[in-house]
């Protein structure tokens, strides 16, 4: 059984305040894009999870991998047996694209199907929230207004025109969540995400901002260079996504988006382009 774990971008990211539990209140639109990790799972005669990793190297403690944590969580809740899994990693890590969260939730969905657990969407999202703040979004992987720590989702009835393409470029800088939040000062915002539907892309900067962007561009000036490259190749709107360091641009044609990716590749950066419309 094979699943695809998509990346996401943030259309705006506002840090509105600090909650009593110590987490920050966030407001954003999460938008899934056509850049995916690949996860394959099968029943195994052996106990536990036999996890194989290919593609990009995942640093850190293997036991903290969200695919493994998902298996452990479900084994505590349900009578599931041994599983062999193969994760092929494509989405850059520490980039603000949600790849790890997407992998964990993809594992959740695949195990739900593999063992016929019959989870409802509400149950799936609730379990995903135990894995991480961004994980519930990836259960449905549909555009959503996101608030709270990232666990409150509201369907967003908006779509880009068929001609709009998204190009994402990642300069190879790994930004940890801890680093990103250290320099953040909450700034309440009254921005109306629904106004984006009637606002030209070239004017989205009047509505959206990423509160992490200015902080990260001081710490990592290359991030600004990524945004400026996208702009110089015709991006109507460009922004760092998540806590960085990847940036995206919205383009009026596939040709412009691919040209931006080609320019990013020449800089030694990873880049991807896909149609914005879902």
Catalytic residue among 37, 103, 134, 211: 134
* Residue ranges with strand state E in 209-260: 237-240, 247-251
Q: Quick one: which H or E segment has residue 83?
A: strand 83-89
134 is catalytic: yes
Phi and psi at residue 263, to the nearest 5°: -65, -35
| DSSP-derived secondary structure letter, 204 | G
Q: Quick one: which H or E segment has residue 105?
A: helix 99-114
- Measured CA to CA, the distance from residue 268 to residue 72 in angstroms comes to 38
Single out the residue of 12, 1, 5 nearest to residue 194, CA to CA. Answer: 12
3-state secondary structure of 179: helix
266 is catalytic: no
Catalytic residue among 8, 27, 37, 89: 8
Residues shown for the chain: 278
3-state secondary structure of 263: helix
User: For residue 41, how far is the Cα from the chain centroid?
Assistant: 22
Active site positions, annotated: 8, 134
């Amino acid at each position: 059984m094979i699943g695809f774990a998509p990346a996401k971008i943030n259309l705006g990211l506002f840090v509105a305040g600090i909650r009593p539990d110590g987490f920050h209140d966030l407001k954003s639109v999460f938008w899934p894009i056509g850049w995916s990790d690949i996860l394959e799972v099968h029943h195994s005669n052996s106990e536990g999870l036999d996890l194989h990793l290919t593609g990009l190297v995942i640093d850190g403690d293997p036991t903290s991998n969200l695919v493994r944590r998902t298996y452990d969580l479900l084994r505590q809740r349900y009578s599931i047996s041994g599983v062999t899994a193969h994760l092929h990693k494509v989405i850059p890590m520490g980039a603000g694209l949600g790849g790890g969260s997407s992998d964990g939730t993809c594992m959740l969905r695949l195990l739900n199907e593999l063992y016929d657990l019959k989870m409802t969407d509400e149950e799936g999202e609730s379990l995903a929230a135990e894995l991480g703040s961004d994980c519930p979004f990836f259960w449905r992987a549909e555009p959503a207004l996101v608030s709270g720590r990232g666990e409150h989702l509201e369907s967003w009835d908006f779509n880009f025109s068929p001609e709009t393409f998204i190009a994402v470029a990642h300069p190879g800088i790994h930004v940890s969540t801890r680093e990103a939040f250290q320099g953040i000062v909450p700034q309440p915002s009254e921005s109306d995400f629904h106004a984006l539907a009637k606002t030209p892309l070239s004017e989205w900067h009047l509505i959206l901002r990423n509160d992490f962007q200015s902080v990260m561009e001081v710490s990592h000036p290359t991030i600004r260079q990524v945004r400026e490259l996208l702009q110089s190749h015709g991006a109507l709107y460009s922004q760092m996504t998540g806590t960085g360091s990847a940036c995206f641009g919205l383009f009026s044609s596939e040709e412009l988006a691919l040209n931006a990716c080609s320019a990013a590749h020449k800089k030694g950066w990873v880049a991807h382009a896909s149609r914005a419309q879902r």
